[in-house]
Structure 1
Amino acid sequence: MSALGWLTPRRRSATARSVLAGEAAAEAARKSVQEQAAEEAAAPEEAVEPQFPVVGDVHAAAFFDLDNTVMQGAAIFHLGRGLYKRHFFQKRELARFAWQQTWFRLAGVEDPAHMEDARNSALSIVKGHRVSELMSIGEEIYDEYMAERIWPGTRALAQAHLDAGQRVWLVTAAPVETATIIARRLGLTGALGTVAESVGGIYTGRLVGEPLHGPAKAEAVRALAAAEGLDLARCAAYSDSSNDIPMLSIVGHPYAINPDTRLRKHAREQGWRLRDYRTGRKAAKVGIPAAAGVGALAGGAAAAVAVHRRRR
């Protein structure tokens, strides 16, 4: 008698169907695994992205925009808030600074008219004050208004370059004194920024050259690369603003950080990498950057002034 002989015909039929179902399920599972393994074996290997930043590459460096890239908002507006607290100017000027900062944070882009107005306001405010005084106050203002506004994600990117043994620079239209304080507090190599004229250590209320903005940033990076023996094709640059496309375009590893609409579109078209820390979403990567055209040309007036200021 078979193993199922003692069962009634109906029970034998049900049991047989169960056995068949189990065997069929097991066979299907084995077949699925085998097919998947075959597909994986036949699939071409994915290109492995090279390690970046490259550890020990002394001819590479990273250049970071400041406003809305490393820090929420604009440094010059935070500076204005701190100066008002110390009675450098009156409520009318504070209202203008507040409006400019609100507009900047809502729009998420740099408007040249707003930035120029803020710059002129700041220059008039510091006129007649000592550079050493503003540096000391700048340290306090960093602790009061800026430290908590540093983007952790961007800070981690900068640290990755530092950990790889590379130099990291801020490149910003903010006053070079403010940029230098922020760079030092973050443990970065240094900063390129807009230089306000001073005579005998006292601000005159005028600029030396022009604001370090737009194409001037690219010239500053070129000048610094030439002076420091850097290969721009191995360097990285990070910014949120389409105004910095010239700077991003001269390095081999451009990143769009918290990008405005125009920069986001340009980054996608060029295959640049993208990081957005504004909503807490996991950073998204858009393509792998191709090496951009590079050169070690002497910089323009703004770049020369910035490099000279850094070495004084």
Structure 2
Amino acid sequence: MTADSRVAAVFDLDGTILASNLVESYVWTRLAALPRRGWPLELLSLLSNAPRYALAEHRGRPEFVHCFLRRYKGLREETLRALVREAVGNALLHRVRPEAVRQIRAHRSAGHRTVLVTGSLDLLVEPLRPLFDEIVACRMASQEGIMTGHVPSPPVVGDIRGSWVRKYCADRGLDVQRSYAYADSYSDRALLATVGHPCAVNPDRRLRRHASQRRWPVVIWGVHTTTQWEALAAAASPPRHHRITTAGTTTDDDKRTP
């Protein structure tokens, strides 16, 4: 890896840096926010809507992101910030792949501009900010501090990532052909094809085949990453004063049935 300030190193989040996905992150958040008696209803709602989310995914990654993020509608923004700071962020860090952290730090040491690109909410990935020069994530609209479920700007996911990274590098005087990208999904092939140094991380079957045909490097990260159950345990025990029952109302654990 050559030191060069005109180089970008762009990282996908779910499945690349994190051994998780958009759905798992949502589950951490909702279980942390709800009293335990509310967990079964929330999980049932998630399962019952699975066909709708699968259809949205079939239509395209941006459609799925918009559709799924609507589940955050009604949650107070400050409540989510507090949950991330005191519980959910800990769960997220449990699922960060150590190899990813080492690679990000190596790029920063080489003077490369490190960028995280994700379809997740910006509030959820705040604990990762110290690793990156810039984070590009979804920001949800809110009214009087309550999240509306609407993401005004198109999420930088799927095929759009190819044109996005070209523009990003051009606007900042970076050399896209000397830049790096790391991703795990076939839907990210446009991003990987645009840079001079693509890397398929823990690729799905289609991306593995695609990478092999183009002789892109393939790496496996995450051998020492904790399990999703350990992450869920970390998320499900936030401070009592931040648990909520409905949007905008808090619950006193001392008065709540376990």
In the aligned structure 2, how far is the partner of 1:158 from the partner of 1:72?
16
**Equivalent runs, 1:201-280 vs 2, <5 Å:** 201-278=145-222
Residues 1:85 and 2:32 are matched in the alignment: yes
- Secondary structure, in 3 states, of the residue corresponding to 1:206? coil
Match of 1:155 in 2: 101
- Structure 1 residue 155 displacement after superposition: 1.6
Distance in 2, Cα, partners of 1:133 & 1:167? 32
Q: Could you say which residue in structure 2 is the equivalent of 1:35?
A: none
Q: Following superposition of structure 1 onto structure 2, how do residues 6-155 of structure 1 map, counting pairs within 5 Å?
A: 52=1, 54-55=2-3, 57-87=4-34, 90-95=39-44, 97=46, 112=58, 120-124=67-71, 126-155=72-101
Letter in 2 for 1:236: Y
Which 10-residue stretch deviates more, 243-252 or 79-88?
Answer: 79-88
Contact 1:196–1:205 under 8 Å retained in 2 = yes
Compared CA separation, residues 277 and 165, structure 1 to 2 (3 A): same
Alpha-carbon distance change, 195 to 219 in structure 1, aligned in 2, over 3 angstroms? farther
How far residue 75 of structure 1 moved from its aligned partner, in angstroms, is 4.3
Q: Residues 219 and 230 of structure 1: is their aligned pair in 2 closer, same or farther, counting only changes over 3 Å? A: same
Q: Partner residue of 1:164?
A: 110
Q: Distance in 2 between matches of 1:242 and 1:193?
A: 20
| CA distance in structure 1 between the aligned counterparts of 2:211 and 2:48, rounded to whole angstroms | 30
The gaps in structure 2 that reach 5 residues or longer are 51-56, 225-258
Summarize the Cα distance change of 1:62–1:273 in structure 2 as closer, same or farther, 3 Å threshold.
same
Once residues 262 and 272 of structure 1 are traced to their aligned partners in structure 2, the CA distance between those partners, rounded to angstroms, is 13
One-letter amino acid matched to 2:151? L
Q: Does 1:188 align with 2:135?
A: no
State the shift of 1:255 in Å: 0.2
Q: Which moved more, 1:248-257 or 1:87-96?
A: 87-96
Once the two structures are TM-superposed, the CA of residue 203 in structure 1 deviates from its matched residue by: 2.0
Distance in 2, Cα, partners of 1:99 & 1:189? 39
In structure 2, C-alpha distance between the alignment counterparts of 1:121 and 1:244, rounded to whole Å: 19
1:130–1:166 CA distance, 2 compared to 1 (3 A): same
CA contact (8 A) 2:32 2:83 kept: no
CA drift at 1:165: 1.5
CA apart distance, 1:61? 1.2
Deviations 1:252-287 (Å, cap 9, x if unpaired)? 10000001111111111111111012568xxxxxxx
- How far apart are the structure 1 equivalents of 2:65 and 2:28? 12
Report if aligned partners of 1:242, 1:263 keep a CA contact under 8 Å in 2. Answer: yes
Where 1:92 maps in the other structure, the secondary structure is helix
Q: TM-score, normalised by structure 1?
A: 0.60
- Mapped to 2, the partners of 1:176 and 1:71 lie a distance apart of 15
Across the two proteins, how many residue pairs are aligned to each other? Answer: 216
- List per-residue Cα deviations over 1:207-238 (Å, max 9, x = no partner): 21333320122233233223322111111000
Kindly name which structure, 1 or 2, has the bigger radius of gyration based on alpha carbons.
1
- Distance apart, 1:120 and its partner CA: 3.5
Aligned to 2:239: none
Task: Quote the residue 1:307 is aligned against.
Answer: none
Q: Which amino acid aligns with 1:268?
A: S
Offset at 1:152? 1.2
- The one-letter code sitting in structure 2 at the alignment partner of 1:194 is C
Pair 258,184 (structure 1): closer, same or farther in 2 beyond 3 Å = same
Query: Structure 1, residues 56-107: CA drift from partner, whole Å, max 9, x if none?
Result: x111010111111001111442233232222186523224558999xxxxxx
Equivalent position SS for 2:141 = strand
The answer (yes or no) to whether the contact 1:67–1:73 under 8 Å persists in 2 is: yes
TM-score by length of 2: 0.72
Kindly, what percent of the aligned residue pairs are identical? 28
- C-alpha contact (below 8 Å) 1:169/1:189 kept by paired residues: yes
Unaligned runs of 5+ in 1: 1-51, 102-110, 281-312
Q: Quickly say closer, same or farther: Cα 1:247–1:79, change in 2 above 3 A.
A: same
Please tell me the root mean square deviation across aligned C-alpha atoms, in Å: 3.0
